Structure 1
Amino acid sequence: MYTKKELLTAIKKSWSHQSSSKWSKDNPARGQCGVTALVVNDFLEGEIFKTWLDEGWHFYNVINGERTDFTREQFSYLIDYQDIDSNRTEAFQDTNDDQYSYLKSQVNRILSKAES
């Protein structure tokens, strides 16, 4: 099992236009919430939650009772988290097979290298 810090480092290195069409060099976390919540859930389990923002649903994780939002930095304002129960099916509606497979494989590759 990886730590949140190790996973966050690998995820940030993996974000690209292939994991979200909204990605940009200026804001690499933009549009990554659903796909990132799924990958975090794969590695650290926990639960997926959502909150409504002007941009639409924002997905994040709760791990061992602690809110963990790896894509918080995409927003220039404070989020008023509503902590609405969600799930993998809803989070997947924010991404697609190609983006999810890409991000998960890149994160796996980086974490595997770190173990070597």
Structure 2
Amino acid sequence: MKKLSDALFASWSTDSSTKWTENNPAKGQCGVSALVVNNFYGGRILKTKLEEGWHFYNHIDGERFDFTESQFCHPIVYDDIVSSRAEAMKDTNEEQYSNLWRRVLDEMEVRNG
């Protein structure tokens, strides 16, 4: 998971979320990242309602993985509501998803040598 986490971080940009900033690269990346992680590891996509709206993350082999929690300045109290790819896709768009998927694949290839 560390390689995927590093690949996501290196791949986030305004091409994967218009909310991205240099100071907060995870901002707005939750839905699109949950989809990419789901491509690699399957599992379920979960969501939690926050003040900012729905927050998406992954549940794989009985463990919660939230690669974008760093975008928030407050701790998250997770509801772990079962979501879906279709619902997470509503948090992004096809172009942003394709951009992130392509960049993460490239980053993973580099990291796997």
* TM-score computed with the length of structure 1 as normaliser: 0.95
What RMSD in Å do the two structures reach over aligned CA positions?
A: 0.6
Compare 105-114 and 34-43 and name the one that shifted more.
105-114
Aligned to 2:112: 115
Match status 1:63 vs 2:60? yes
SS for the counterpart of 2:75 is: coil
Match for 1:50: what amino acid? K
Aligned partner of 1:30 among 27, 31, 47: 27
Match status 1:93 vs 2:90? yes
Aligned partner of 1:78 among 47, 50, 75: 75
Aligned to 1:51: 48
Give the Cα–Cα distance (whole angstroms) in 1 for the partners of residues 95 and 110 of structure 2. Answer: 23
Give the Cα–Cα distance (whole angstroms) in 1 for the partners of residues 30 and 111 of structure 2. Answer: 24
Gaps of 5+ in 2: none
User: Could you tell me how far 1:44 is from its partner in structure 2?
Assistant: 1.1
Q: Contact 2:3–2:111 at 8 Å: present in 1 too?
A: no
Match for 2:93: what amino acid? N
* TM-score computed with the length of structure 2 as normaliser: 0.98
Q: Contact 2:44–2:60 at 8 Å: present in 1 too?
A: yes
Give the Cα–Cα distance (whole angstroms) in 1 for the partners of residues 70 and 8 of structure 2. Answer: 13
Give the Cα–Cα distance (whole angstroms) in 2 for the partners of residues 6 and 64 of structure 1. Answer: 18
**Alpha-carbon displacement from aligned partner over 1:27-74 (angstroms, at most 9, x marks no partner):** 000000000000000011111000000010000000101010000000
Between the two proteins, what is the percent identity of the paired residues?
A: 54
Q: How many residues align?
A: 113
Gaps of 5+ in 1: none
